[in-house]
Amino acid sequence: TEGTGIMLIHTSIEQKLLTAFDPVFLDVIDESHMHSVAPGVESHFKVVIVTPAFDGMRLLQRHRAVNAIVATELAEKIHALALHTYTPGEWYEYYAEKPPASPKCFGGSKRDKT
């Protein structure tokens, strides 16, 4: 939170992606409230990122590039990260009005033993 010296996970992800990709559009959405987590826990995110850096990259390459930038958060703090990665041409042609919705949560967490 602001003033405490503790950076929110949401803010950390956003700043890292802005720096790494210089996107024309970026939306980092905390979807934790849609899952079985305690209030205030930041564990489930959706990222919609549009950048010319993705030109010529396949979907898997884009996801790997984003995952590499937020590797610390993925390893230590994030339970789920939904990625929607687009070039500007793809975004303006197909998705600008409404990016794909996230799937419903089926419950469970890292702590569940199955």
Sign of the Cα pseudo-torsion (59, 10, 75, 78, in order) = negative
Residue 56 lies in a domain: yes
Q: What is this structure's pTM?
A: 0.75
Residue 27 lies in a domain: yes
How many helices (H) and strands (E) would you count in the chain? 4, 3
Number of domains in the chain: 1
The CATH number of whichever domain residue 16 belongs to comes to: 3.30.300.90
Residue 38 lies in a domain: yes
Residue 66 lies in a domain: yes
Residue 84 lies in a domain: yes
Confidence at residue 97, expressed as pLDDT on a 0 to 100 scale: 62
Per-residue pLDDT of the chain (114 residues; tens, 9 = 90+): 444 445 588 888 999 999 999 999 999 988 765 555 555 556 678 899 999 999 999 999 999 999 999 998 888 777 778 899 999 999 988 776 666 666 565 555 444 444
**45: domain range?**
9-97
| Cα gap 19→102, rounded to integer Å | 25
Residue 4 lies in a domain: no
